């Protein structure tokens, strides 16, 4: 089915839906000649961090140029809507979105004439929890027009980390990148649509999407020993128990029932490390990645045609995607540099 093929795209669109909703205020307009109910509801949370540490020392460098970032988002708010069509032309239209976004960019660079210890490290922790729901009830009137509902819940996390260390002496516990990302959603999308006696149909799009991305790069050059340095660690976890639920009943007028439902989870990790040391390299230049996805949510749709001229169509799809790429290289002689970035963005507002 087309929705299954496009679930990954849908999951990304879901994240943007909620923020697009925030750009326009909630509106509901009615007059005696035309009955058009339009509502846009959005809840958004956004966090962004940019960190850069640069150190140059003629002697040793100790506990310097470290970046640490912690971001936490929790939402329990919901969007709720009821619309009743009138006798004039027009229909019911509802857009509801809940979005959470985090972005972090971290970069560290250390150049030391002597030893480098516990320096140039990047640490990022991101957590998102949503228990909010989108709920919409629409009833068509006797005039022309249909019921349209778009509902989305999206969570997005992005982390970019880069570290570079150059030491004339020993390099210990330096130039390491650590990233932890967690997403939990228990929110649901629920919609009920009743067609009226006028022309028009029922249309609903529902989606739940979770996305995590991590990019890590570490480079170390040490004139002497290189110990527990330039390691990359990434931990990503996604849990969804939210569902899409929809009930559609056609009216006596012409029109059709149309439903698209999707649940998508996506994880991506890119890691690269390079180390050069004089005598020896110990526990350095390692890449470790752990990714976990758990979905117990469902897509459920009930459609009943009316007495008018209509047809029912419904598509639903679930998908989970995780990707990992890692590259590490060791060589036993000189030269070093490093750079890192980490960014996050999430916009929040609510309109009803």
Mean pLDDT of 286-291: 98
Strands of 281-282's sheet in order across: 61-62, 116-117, 171-172, 226-227, 281-282
Cα 34 to Cα 87: distance, rounded to the nearest angstrom: 8
Q: What's residue 36's pLDDT?
A: 73
String of b and e for 287-297 (b: at least 16 CB within 10 Å)?
Answer: bebebebebeb
CA distance 313 to 257: 6
Is the pLDDT reported for residue 351 higher than 50?
no
**pLDDT confidence band for 146 (50 / 70 / 90):** confident
pLDDT for 315 equals 65
Q: Give me the pLDDT at residue 1, please.
A: 40
Residue 109 has pLDDT above 50, yes or no: yes
- The more confident residue out of 70 and 201 is 70
DSSP-derived pairing of the beta strands 134-139 and 92-112: unpaired
Q: Is the pLDDT of residue 67 over 90?
A: yes
Which segment of 6-20, 121-135, 261-275 scores lowest on mean pLDDT?
6-20
Count Cβ neighbours within 10 Å for each residue of 35-46 and write b for 16 or more, e otherwise.
bbbbbbbbbbbb
Q: What is the pLDDT of residue 201?
A: 84
pTM here?
A: 0.81
Q: Is the pLDDT of residue 16 over 80?
A: no
- 135-139, 243-247, 314-318, 338-342: the lowest-pLDDT one: 338-342
Query: Cβ(1)–Cβ(261) under 8 Å?
Result: no
- Helix runs in the chain, H state only: 2-5, 7-23
At 232 the pLDDT is 98
> Which pLDDT score, from 0 to 100, does residue 166 have?
97
pLDDT of 66 higher than 80: yes
Decide if pLDDT at 191 tops 80. Answer: yes
Average pLDDT score over residue span 258-267: 97
Calculate mean pLDDT across residues 204-221: 98
pLDDT, position 85? 85
CA–CA–CA angle 301, 306, 310 (5° rounding):
85
pLDDT for 29 = 33
- Would you place residue 318 in the very low, low, confident or very high pLDDT band (cuts 50, 70, 90)? low
The domains of the chain are located at 1-18+41-63+98-130+153-185+204-335
């Amino acid at each position: 089915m087309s929705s299954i093929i496009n679930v990954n795209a849908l999951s990304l669109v879901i994240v943007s839906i909620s923020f697009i909703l925030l750009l326009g205020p909630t509106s509901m307009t009615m007059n005696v000649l035309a009955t058009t109910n339009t509502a846009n509801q959005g809840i958004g949370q956004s966090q962004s961090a940019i960190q850069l540490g640069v150190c140059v020392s003629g002697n040793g460098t100790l506990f310097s140029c470290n970046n640490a970032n912690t971001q936490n988002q929790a939402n329990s708010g919901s969007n709720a809507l009821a619309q009743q069509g009138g006798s004039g032309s027009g229909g019911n239209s509802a857009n509801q979105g809940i979005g959470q976004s985090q972005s972090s960019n971290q970069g560290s660079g250390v150049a030391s004439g002597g030893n480098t210890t516990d320096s140039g490290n990047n640490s990022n922790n991101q957590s998102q929890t949503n228990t909010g729901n989108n709920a919409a009830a629409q009833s068509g009137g006797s005039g022309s027009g249909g019921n349209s509902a778009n509902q989305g819940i999206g969570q997005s996390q992005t982390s970019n980390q880069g570290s570079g260390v150059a030491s004339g002496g020993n390099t210990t516990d330096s130039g390491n990148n650590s990233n932890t990302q967690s997403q939990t959603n228990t929110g649901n999308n629920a919609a009920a649509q009743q067609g009226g006696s006028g022309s028009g149909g029922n249309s609903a799009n529902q989606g739940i999407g979770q996305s995590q991305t991590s990019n890590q790069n570490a480079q170390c050059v040490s004139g002497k020993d290189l110990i527990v340095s330039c390691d990359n660690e990434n931990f990503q976890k996604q849990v969804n128990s939210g569902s899409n639920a929809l009930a559609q009943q056609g009216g006596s007028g012409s029109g059709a029932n149309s439903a698209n439902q999707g649940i998508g989870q996506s994880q991506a990790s890119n890691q690269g490390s390079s180390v050069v040391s004089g005598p020896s390299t110990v526990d350095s230049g390692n890449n470790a990645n752990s990714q976990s996805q758990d979905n117990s949510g469902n897509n459920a749709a009930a459609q009943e045609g009316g007495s008018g001229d209509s047809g029912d169509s419904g598509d639903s799809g679930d998908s989970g995607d995780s990707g990992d790429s890692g590259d590490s290289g060791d060589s036993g002689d000189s030269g070093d540099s490093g750079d890192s970035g980490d960014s996050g963005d999430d916009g929040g507002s609510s309109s009803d």
